[in-house]
Amino acid sequence: MLAHRRAVEQIKESYAAIPDDSAPRLSKATTNLFRFRDAGGGSRAAKLSARDLDQVIQVDPVARTAEVQGMTTYENLVDATLPHGLMPYVVPQLKTITLGGAVTGLGIESTSFRDGLPHESVEELEILTGDGRIVVAREDNEHADLFRAFPNSYGTLGYALRIRIKLKPVSPYVKLTHLPFTDAEKCLLAMREICESREHDGEPVDFVDGVFFGPGELYITLGRFADRAPYVSDYTGMRIYYRSIQTRTRDWLTVRDYLWRWDTDWFWCSRAFGVQRPLVRSLMPRRWMRSDVYRRLVGMDRKYGLLARYDRWRGNPPQESVIQDIEVPIERGAEFLDFFHKKVGMTPVWMCPLKASGDWPLYPLEQGRLYLNFGFWGTVPLPRGQFDGYHNRLIENAVHDLDGHKSLYSTSFYPRDEFWRLYNGDAYWPVKRAYDPGGRLLDLYDKCVRGR
């Protein structure tokens, strides 16, 4: 905690030293955002280093809590909690997502049908606010308005320096059951019933997610904690996890390997780099087979336009990046899949149910209602005569026609008035004025839509 206090004083002093006409930007070792700024777009930006705010301060196995610095990755957090037989209530699926990033920018995983989103297990936030103060925000203190508005604020109200979260007990292994379906309506009805009962075939269910491979091939994957396992599979080498869903009914993983089952191949996105080809995979060091390496490759391509040049050389149509996570009520999920398959055509698609609780005004999901997250990440060819953003705008319109919502970690195209209506500007602006009256930090629209 002493080291943490020194780090807090350092970042506070660094923030105060940034000129008033510069926009502070948090400098992080890794990022899972897909909002790329133009080369000249950050000319007024001043980097604020958070290099000393990436540690687990303390795990309390009796109280089942952890004190964690804001830039701590979930990989490091899980490594600190699992030896105590504990884990965070929701562990987002990629290792280098930070706890502060998941709380201020949302996150989801296969426990979300029961435990909601990562911020719902937060007890306390220590925040560097836009006006340079250090405040401790809780549900029950004078900064409760900031505590509730912090999720989905994406660093526009302040930066999380320390977070206290609740933990829950785990078992050493997870038993997996993959249920195949050929009809989306029946698949999502079964998923809804499982989430509501929290059991299947008389057994409790601890994890629920699924994959859409196409209109006639969908799977629900159920996970259950287990104290023993007859064997454990390894998907960190030659074997690919998402392919196993199509070929196995049962499987067993260690709890750690289950939490990071999607990271080795960045769900299925590693195929874009040839990593799923047996020869390439056999030659690639395991330490490189992880999401942050692939994310850096995407950043390099974005910077130098290598794939776009290749497509032009081959005479291929321009590609649009379609990287989004959206939520719709689960009873509308089959409608979304039908739209998405016809208008976008990208597969696979991740499906993850969630049920939000509490008052979180900047991401206003209906409390107690079961939603279904769809995650899709890749590129699709643009129709002749259309421009970049065509598919993403179609998706935005469809999502909100279905009474859904979309995460803001990637590109967005909303008009200003529509954005503030969807993301509750009436709740955002009073908190923004209270904690950043001078507007030193960008507002949510400028940061997430205009990409400034």
394-407 per-position pLDDT tens digit:
999 999 999 999 99
410-436 tens-digit pLDDT: 889 999 999 999 999 999 999 999 999
Alpha-helix residue ranges (DSSP H) falling in 51-183: 74-81, 99-105, 112-115, 144-149
- pLDDT of 305 reads 72
* Dist CA 346 CA 322 (whole Å): 9
Residue 43 confidence (pLDDT) above 60: no
Give pTM, 2 decimals: 0.93
Residue found by looking up tokens 């777009």 in the block: 41
The rounded distance, in Å, linking the Cα atoms of 47 and 44 is 10
What sign for the dihedral angle of Cα 199, 201, 207, 209? negative
Q: Which residues of the chain form CATH 3.30.70.2520?
A: 305-413
As a whole number of angstroms, the longest Cα–Cα distance in the chain is 62
> 432 near 158, Cβ under 8 Å?
no
| Res 67: pLDDT | 97
Cα–Cα nearest to 36, from 298, 307, 419, 420: 298
Query: Rounded distance, CA 420 to CA 426, Å?
Result: 8
The pLDDT-based confidence of 41 (bands split at 50, 70, 90) is very low
Helix, strand or coil, per DSSP, at residue 128: strand
Q: What percent of the chain has pLDDT over 90?
A: 78
The domain over range 2-170+426-448 is classified in CATH as 3.30.470.20: no
**Cβ(399)–Cβ(405) under 8 Å?**
yes
Going by pLDDT thresholds of 50, 70 and 90, the confidence category of residue 318 is confident
The segment(s) of the chain belonging to CATH 3.30.465.10 are 2-170+426-448
| pLDDT tens by residue, 286-301 | 999 999 898 888 877 7
pLDDT of residue 311: 66
Residues with Cβ within 8 Å of 54's Cβ and at least 6 positions away in sequence, in order, are 29, 69, 71, 72, 73, 76, 98
Q: Of 21-30, 56-65, 375-384, where does mean pLDDT reach its minimum?
A: 21-30
> Can you tell me whether residue 1 is helix, strand or coil?
coil
112 pLDDT exceeds 90? yes
CATH of region 305-413: 3.30.70.2520
How does pLDDT run across 366-387, given as a tens digit for each residue?
A: 989 999 999 999 899 999 889 8
Q: H or E stretch including 416?
A: helix 416-422
**Closest Cα to residue 343, out of 305, 304, 369, 381?**
381
Q: How far apart are CA 116 and CA 363, in angstroms?
A: 12
Q: How far apart are CA 104 and CA 7, in angstroms?
A: 20
